[in-house]
Structure 1
Amino acid sequence: MTETLVIRLDPADQERGSWVAVDAEGRRIGAPGAGALADAAAAAAGRRVAVLVPAEDVLLTRAELPVRGAGKILKALPFALEEQIAEDIEALHFAAGRLQGRTVPAAAVDREQLEGWLAAVQAAGLEPQLVCSEAEGCPAAPNHLNWLLDEHRCLARSGDGIPLLVEVAAVEDALRYGPGFPGDAEQARHLSVYVTPAAMERHGAALEALREQVATVEIRLLPDGVLPHLAAGIVARAPINLLQGPFAPRTQVDRLWRPWQAAAALLAVLAVVVLARQGLELMQLQREEARLDAAIAAAFQQALPGARMEDPRFQVERRLAALRGTAGAGDAGFLEAIETVGGALAGNQGLSIESVSYRSGVLDLKLVAPSVEALEAFRQAMIRDGRYAATIQQADPRGDGVEGRIQLTGEGA
């Protein structure tokens, strides 16, 4: 059975209040308590926590909306209620009850006021699942005008309508300024009054006098004050929970996740940086591979014009063997020289080979380079291991670059 600790905040001091525990049927469990909110924390262990805020600080009303869905309703409420509210709607927080056809019960409260209540409650070690106006606990009996009467305050509800707080100096104030009897004027009028001992002493005679004006007057004394009855009303009905939108209570997952959010964000940024770097390196490698493939294809077409390139090394060796009867050392030298050219080309971007010729151990290259310096860097790369000698035979300007010829000779060639 679910138990609820209902805490009623003190209108004069939001860090103090009174509280009572009730079961799922609204029956009281133990004696009510009162004092600093921190004192209520022990009674909240293992129980759902509901906080009742002063009725005078929360507007309860209804609105007709053409939309459905909690998110859309919350967005539409401020505009639907704008004409009913004199305050700046930007400073208010709105909450919605259960949709009834096209009509939705609604509540409006000053956002800073709500933040203050929640700060005081949470500072006391309490995590409420429900925050609502205390007026929502007012009795609701069909065909009755219902009063929850204290010495100077009356929570009044006509049938199951919207509850209203009335400041009363006399019972007549509740009749004059509060909601009227349900139904039309010809129907019998019934009054149900829930009254504290102090209020009974003050207003008892006036209440008895009302018996002559209405069909029935039912008076119920509340020896422990209004809180137990408010608590029972909150549990029995579905009040408008102010904890909606940005004030919606966090789930257990949210509370566990919150301390790790910063670390997770940092990890996500790091992952993006690493992936971006790897992607850039992959693109560079792909470009280098494309350049090498182009160089090999050019050399292959020079050696075997018109042939389809499948396995360049094997095809060239087979062709040389067919032409000379065997694959001699000179043939192997040609392939080694081509490999040297390919390795040097990989480290020098912007170069492109236009033709390759090989004869009697000498490899001639015709290529285009961005500059004479790039041409020289390519030559230096080919002779780095000391196996070859390379000389620039020609270097002529061509557009934005240089057309060059390099001759490669040496041990392999």
Structure 2
Amino acid sequence: MSYRLYVRPVPPFSDPDQNPEAQLFNWVLHDASGDAQARGIGDPRNAIEQTLGQNALDNVLLIGLIPGDEALFCVADIPAKQSRFINQALPYAVEEQIAQDIDTVHLALGRHTDEGYPVAAIDEARMGQWVALLSGWDHVRLESIYPDAALLPITEGGWAICLAGEIALMVSDRGEWLSMQSANLGMFAHTLAVPPSEDVVAEVPVTLYATAEEFEVQQAAIGELMSPGRLTVRRETLELMPLELLAYAHHHHLCQPINLCQGRFSNRSNKANPLKPWKPLIAVAAVWFAIQVALEVGMGFYYQQQADELEQQAMAIYREAFPEDRKTDAGKVRRVIEGQLRVAGSQGPEVDFITLMKYTGQEYSRLPGARSVNFSSVNYSRTRGELVVDVRADSYDRLSALRNGLARQGLEAQIGSVVNESSGARGRLTVSGG
């Protein structure tokens, strides 16, 4: 994880187009574990860049915190779930909550909640000025921009308030942020102390953050905040500037801010691609892979064509030797020839009645439980070279075993006219030389 640089412009705000060097910032630098490594109050941009350069830090993530009153919090109730439809419906869903022409407003979408989608609305031209002010720094790249009050740690069921001079930063438990004059805290407290008429009166927890000096200076405003009986105020004393509290809450996910860098202000397209240095090598590897695949495919077609030609030649030779055999194909020719050679080697070139009976008798004697197999009649056709045997057995499996044994000897064996009976099965076994 990279270093993070949190910067918060301090008033008066300069025009980034006219005199950006005059703008001063409060800032804090966090390492990957969230520990502060450097900080500054009221420093110009070049002083911050110089500090980063002296510490040999590069590609630091810059998180900009702009005044909370620059962006308006609103909620969009959109039933759609796909991002494309949500973005299309977003302007219409919040138009009535914004007192400005919606076409001149930049909208940033937050994570979906039970109430809908939280939305941050900011003037589009003003957003462009903030992006210009926080972009182009040495050693850093802009990661995100948030309303500063949105980074306060959330108080469950109530509000968190941070006193920062004349400004009070506030955020509710649903992520709604506000920035107001500290002198107006009493009015805000009385508003919270008045519950809706239909609700039961309950205490509202409020966490108040400030430095010891701020607590001393802001005693009158704090007294007005604590005067309504419905608010339960808990003080938290800060040892350092409020910016460090905001940075801590953001690093430890104690808040639910909305990143304003979305849409046309998104910085994703500017992020460095980690694969960019390897693109030439990837391109060469892709070309080599494509050539290799094409070569393998070409060789596959070539060898397949050679195999087809050899099969055709083998079948042509077989047809010349056995012109009457039309059943044998290229897949069975080897097995058939081996069987014929075995038969020819033992009995000569002619497969006659004696030879067929010999092999049939051998396979019959090898059957387990051969006595359960009976031959009822035996016929031989010299013209067809076939031995036809009517066979009866206690099961069809024995008939099938007899046929398979003859086939293993290279003979053509078939069983036809099979009849299953209560006592077994009977059929006609036809054996030929294959």
TM-score, normalisation: structure 1: 0.55
Aligned to 2:264: 246
Which secondary structure state, in structure 2, belongs to the residue aligned with residue 143 of structure 1? coil
Which secondary structure state, in structure 2, belongs to the residue aligned with residue 128 of structure 1? strand
Q: Which of 89, 95, 101 lines up with 1:76 in the alignment?
A: 89
Which secondary structure state, in structure 1, belongs to the residue aligned with residue 150 of structure 2? helix
Q: In structure 2, what is the Cα distance between the partners aligned to 1:114 and 1:120?
A: 10
Aligned to 1:139: 153
Q: Which of 54, 62, 66 lines up with 1:53 in the alignment?
A: 66
Q: Shift in Å at residue 146 of structure 1?
A: 1.6
Aligned length: 257
AA of the residue aligned to 2:242: V
The within-5 A match list for 1:199-218 is 199-204=214-219, 207=222, 210=226, 213-214=229-230, 216-218=232-234
Aligned to 2:341: none
- Render the CA deviation track for 1:71-106: whole Å, top value 9, x for unaligned: 332332211111011111111111101122571111
Q: Shift in Å at residue 5 of structure 1?
A: 1.0
Aligned to 2:36: 28
AA of the residue aligned to 1:252: A
Q: In structure 2, what is the Cα distance between the partners aligned to 1:119 and 1:201?
A: 38
Q: Shift in Å at residue 147 of structure 1?
A: 0.9
Contact 1:158 1:179 in 2 (8 A): no
Matched, 1:64 2:72: no
Contact 2:169 2:178 in 1 (8 A): yes
Matched, 1:225 2:225: no
Q: What runs of 5+ residues in structure 1 fail to find an aligned partner?
A: 258-413
Aligned to 1:371: none
Q: Which of 148, 169, 176 lines up with 1:155 in the alignment?
A: 169
Contact 2:75 2:115 in 1 (8 A): no
Q: Shift in Å at residue 131 of structure 1?
A: 0.9
The within-5 A match list for 1:9-408 is 9-14=9-14, 15-23=23-31, 26-41=34-49, 42-43=51-52, 45-101=58-114, 103-125=116-138, 126-176=140-190, 184-204=199-219, 207=222, 210=226, 213-214=229-230, 216-235=232-251, 236=253, 237-249=255-267, 250-253=270-273
Which secondary structure state, in structure 2, belongs to the residue aligned with residue 76 of structure 1? helix
Contact 2:211 2:238 in 1 (8 A): yes
Matched, 1:5 2:5: yes
Contact 2:29 2:37 in 1 (8 A): yes
Q: 1:176 to 1:215 in 2, by over 3 A?
A: closer
Aligned to 1:366: none
RMSD: 3.2
AA of the residue aligned to 1:113: R
Contact 1:50 1:128 in 2 (8 A): yes
Q: 1:89 to 1:2 in 2, by over 3 A?
A: same
Stretch moving more, 58-67 or 228-237? 228-237
Aligned identity (percent) is: 25
Q: Shift in Å at residue 224 of structure 1?
A: 1.9
AA of the residue aligned to 2:217: R
Q: In structure 2, what is the Cα distance between the partners aligned to 1:25 and 1:177?
A: 40
Q: In structure 2, what is the Cα distance between the partners aligned to 1:23 and 1:54?
A: 25
AA of the residue aligned to 1:172: G
Aligned to 1:301: none
Stretch moving more, 166-175 or 221-230? 166-175
AA of the residue aligned to 2:179: L
Which secondary structure state, in structure 2, belongs to the residue aligned with residue 142 of structure 1? coil
AA of the residue aligned to 2:272: Q
Q: Shift in Å at residue 179 of structure 1?
A: 9.4
Contact 1:150 1:198 in 2 (8 A): no
Aligned to 1:293: none
AA of the residue aligned to 1:164: L
Which secondary structure state, in structure 1, belongs to the residue aligned with residue 235 of structure 2? strand
Contact 1:5 1:50 in 2 (8 A): yes
Q: In structure 2, what is the Cα distance between the partners aligned to 1:57 and 1:84?
A: 15
Q: In structure 2, what is the Cα distance between the partners aligned to 1:92 and 1:10?
A: 24
Q: In structure 2, what is the Cα distance between the partners aligned to 1:99 and 1:246?
A: 21
